[in-house]
Each structure stands twice: as structure tokens, then as C-alpha cells.
Amino acid sequence: MLKFEWFEGTHSPEYRDALSIREKVFIKEQNVDVALEIDGEDDQRWHIVGYLNEQPVATSRVYFIKPNVLKIQRVAVSKAVRGQHIGLQLMQNVEKWAIEQGAKELILSAQDTVTPFYEKLGFNIANEVGYMDANIPHHDMAKSLKPKSNSFNEVF
């Protein structure tokens, strides 16, 4: 069973789990420089870790760049569980949390290889011209959020 844990900063056991996933995915698999991946900003960010059968398999970190705009970063899913909709569940959990916190928009910087994944989730490419980040082609993406209403049909 997949379970998600949210936490803030770097002072929890879950942070070590998040870092472990990021190191495997970004540093080892994608050859991202350790200084770029471990950038000193984790202490001021919210993090989420997904656990499958109590093993950490997915993570992301987020922060508000404006009162109602949430930036999503460091989305990573362990290689062994890719293709099992773990990334989808991770992003659904992030979106739910964002709405609960009052976010009206989500933004992220997506590696070009995964822009189709984010488009299926309702994100749009925000810039025609991509750019390189950590020697990997990227595009900025954005998604507008609609807060849950209390309409009769949704309540019953």
C-alpha cells in the first residue's frame, strides 16, 4: 500500500528517505552534480515522501513563490517502481495539499522527457523555448487550480 508523509525542513527521518531517492534518481541515474541537487534550500521547503510497503519510493519538495503559487521541485520516483502510477499518485497528493494550503496555481520545471506526463495531469508548457538545467533540457510548466466548492452535487 502506498502512503505519503509530508514534513517541513531537514530534521526528520523522512528527509533522509527523500534525499536517498533524489540521490539515486538525479545524482546516480542522471549524473546531476551533487552541488546542484543538494542546493542548501531543503531546510526552507516542504517535502513529501511516498512509501510503498514501508519503503521510500517517491518524493518531491515544494514551496510558495507567491502567496497562492506553489513551485514543485525534485519530483523523483525510484526506478524499480516506475510505470506503476506512483508518480501520478505523488502529484495528486501534492495538488491536494496545495489546494488545502490555498494555492491557485502550480508551477514546475520539467525535464523534456517527462513533459507529456505533466500535460496528462493538466499542466501546460509555459515557455516555447526550453533551457538547459544540470545539462538536461527543461521547460517551465504551469497548472491553474480550482478550489473545491461545496456545491450540492459534490457534497452528496
Beta bridge partners of residue 66, listed in sequence order: 69
Query: Each residue of 54-64: pLDDT tens digit?
Result: 999 999 999 99
Burial degree of 49 (CB within 10 A; 0-12, 13-18, 19+): buried
On the question of pLDDT at 154 being above 60, the answer is: no
The kind and range of the H/E element at 34 are helix 34-37
Backbone angles phi, psi at 78, to 5 degrees: -60, 140
| CATH architecture of the domain with residue range 2-155 | 3-Layer(aba) Sandwich (3.40)
Query: Each residue of 79-106: pLDDT tens digit?
Result: 999 999 999 999 999 999 999 999 999 9
Beta bridge partners of residue 6, listed in sequence order: 48
**For the whole model, what pTM was predicted?**
0.91
Segment 36-49 shows an average pLDDT of 95
Quickly state the pLDDT bin for 109 (edges 50, 70, 90): very high
> How high does pLDDT run on average in the chain?
93
On the question of pLDDT at 155 being above 80, the answer is: no
The kind and range of the H/E element at 55 are strand 55-66
Per-residue confidence (pLDDT) for residue 156, from 0 to 100: 34
Backbone angles phi, psi at 50, to 5 degrees: -100, 130
- Residues 6+ positions from 1 with CB-CB distance below 8 Å: 52, 53
Per-residue confidence (pLDDT) for residue 7, from 0 to 100: 98
